[in-house]
Structure 1
Amino acid sequence: MTYLPDAEAFIRANLPLVEVPGTGLRLHLAGPRSGLSRLVPPGGTPYWAHAWPGGVALALHLAAQPETVQGRSVWEIGAGSGLVSLAALRAGAEAATAVDTDPLAAVATRVNAEANGLPAPRVLIRAAGELSLDWASAGASRGRSAVLAGDVFYDAASARHATEALDGAAAALGPDAPILVGDIGRRFLPRDRLEPLACYPVRDVGDPPSAPLREGWVFRWTPLP
């Protein structure tokens, strides 16, 4: 079965546009009748079809403090739907690059950008587990780049890969570069490497409407000494 050629049409037809509360952004998000198994390869996980709470926290943070990314080139690690990249562009980022391991994330990011009247971020698709970049070759520069990562510490392997990517970014971009992480406090979050900056009310994927809101934290990544 071929999954990509009709992906854009499938997303438009089966994933309705839903406003992400507080962000002013709308995303094509999966619902009970979306039938994602017709698009996603067996064993695949459509992270790009949901608004994950760490990404929402980052998007809320950029709306509240746009100076974090204004005039900078932004790199979103584990982009999924592209929510954080789009929030950065809306906040005044000069450009945005979304990095993910799923080719369908590139399609979703492009469609979501169009839905919000924003330029489509550049998307880099990496092999599974390879979120690290040669930052200079990729176009990032000291003093002008920011790195954002939401919900990338969901299991041991993802935590290891994310840590490598963020440490590489810190080494390449310097101690003053904004390198921010959004998360709701998952088990594999390396708290000893994180400086809390802000907290926002968010809802996790799968939470019923009656469930209490969660704490969506935004942290600054702390380089190793």
Structure 2
Amino acid sequence: MVKDGKTDQRRFSTNFLTSPYVDGITRHSEATHIDCRHLDFLRLQLITPASPLYTASAEEAALMAPFPDPFWGFCWPGSYALCRFLLENPEVVRGKLVLDFAAGCGIASIVALHVGASASIANDIDSWACTASLINAAANLPASTLATSFHVYDGNLVGTPLSSVHDATMSAAHPQSTSSSSPSDWVVLAGDVCYEEPLATDVIAWLHALAAQGVHVLLGDPGRQFLPHARLHPVASYELPPSIADGNFGLSPTGAVWTLLPTSHLHKQK
């Protein structure tokens, strides 16, 4: 969480593993698999057609569940594409620090560790998503990896230096450590962040600022209206499995991964 331009360092994983959060999520979701052979090794706590929330209206959901819109209850197309890309290109995150921005269920940060990232941070503005990410990480990662390499952080990180994120998560959780990080140590994964124009504008501007510093930024999206195509370069595209395609409301049958074009390239296009 960012307060007055500074990073609040009071957030630790244990803040989210309390009974109200854990019970609320497990009661209204199901431990299940994604219908995709590439990712069926994962078991995730998701809202499925078997859950009453799956077809509930916003008004009905507000009466049924103790949380706001449960975006953490689904694997979204952009995150799915990012996971497929990491499985095919593990060298992208091997030995790197990974920030899974707008993590939702945390699947991208989990897969990043699975393929060799040194640490990952599942970040979301929703504390319930942080709990869901922890539940899913615990179900899919070795205990030693979960204890030392998986972190969660709630709050809006747009505009926040990654050095502050590092201090508030890894350094705060391991105060004896003297490690620091440089921009080239980081990979930022941003899945499904272009569904509203103001949000997309702010997030993309921040991601470009990070990329200009030397951070490797990957964006996952099925081609939403506010995706700034002119500022991105497509690197991969994947057909969505039925369960994810159904939840995509026919927007696109595929999810794509994009990198951010450098500023020099943008100037040449004008």
For structure 2, the 5+ residue unaligned runs are 1-17, 54-60, 167-180, 265-270
1:220 lines up with 2:259 in the alignment: yes
| Inter-partner Cα distance in structure 1 for 2:112 and 2:160 | 20
Post-superposition offset of 1:169: 1.6
Tell me which structure has the larger Cα radius of gyration: 2
- Measured against aligned partners, the alpha-carbon deviations of 1:134-188 in whole angstroms (never above 9, x if no partner) come to 222222522211111111101112202211331232133x1xx421111111110
Structure 2 residue aligned with 1:138: 165
The answer to which structure has the higher helix fraction is 2
Q: Which residue of 1 aligns with 2:65?
A: 39
TM-score by structure 1 length? 0.85
Aligned to 1:86: 110
* Displacement after TM superposition at 1:8 (Å): 0.6
The equivalent residue for 1:13 is: 27
Q: d(CA) in 2 for partners of 1:49 and 1:81?
A: 6
**Distance (Å, rounded) in 1 between the aligned partners of 2:206 and 2:246:** 30
Q: Counterpart amino acid of 1:131?
A: V
CA RMSD of aligned residues (A): 2.3
Query: In the TM superposition, what is the alpha-carbon distance from 1:122 to its structure 2 partner?
Result: 1.2
Counterpart of 1:180 (choices 197, 203, 218) is 218
Gaps of 5+ in 1: none
Q: Quick one: which of 154, 179, 182 aligns to 1:125?
A: 154
Aligned residue in 1 for 2:78:
54
How far does the alpha carbon of each residue in 1:112-132 deviate from its partner, in whole angstroms, 9 at most, with x for none? 0011134443112114xx533
Find 2:231's aligned residue among 193, 198, 210: 193
Q: CA deviation at 1:40?
A: 4.4
Counterpart CA distance in 2 for 1:147 and 1:206 is: 25
Does residue 30 (structure 1) correspond to residue 47 (structure 2)? The answer is yes
**SS of equivalent to 1:6:** helix
Look up the equivalent residue of 1:13 and give its one-letter code.
Answer: R
Q: Point out the more displaced range, 191-200 or 213-222.
A: 213-222
Give secondary structure in 1 for the equivalent of 2:246. Answer: coil
Shift of 1:213: 7.6
Who is 2:134 aligned against?
110
Identity of aligned residues (%): 32
Moved over 3 A (4+): 34-41, 203-206
The one-letter amino acid paired with 1:111 is I
Does residue 100 of the first structure (1) align with residue 127 of the second (2)?
no
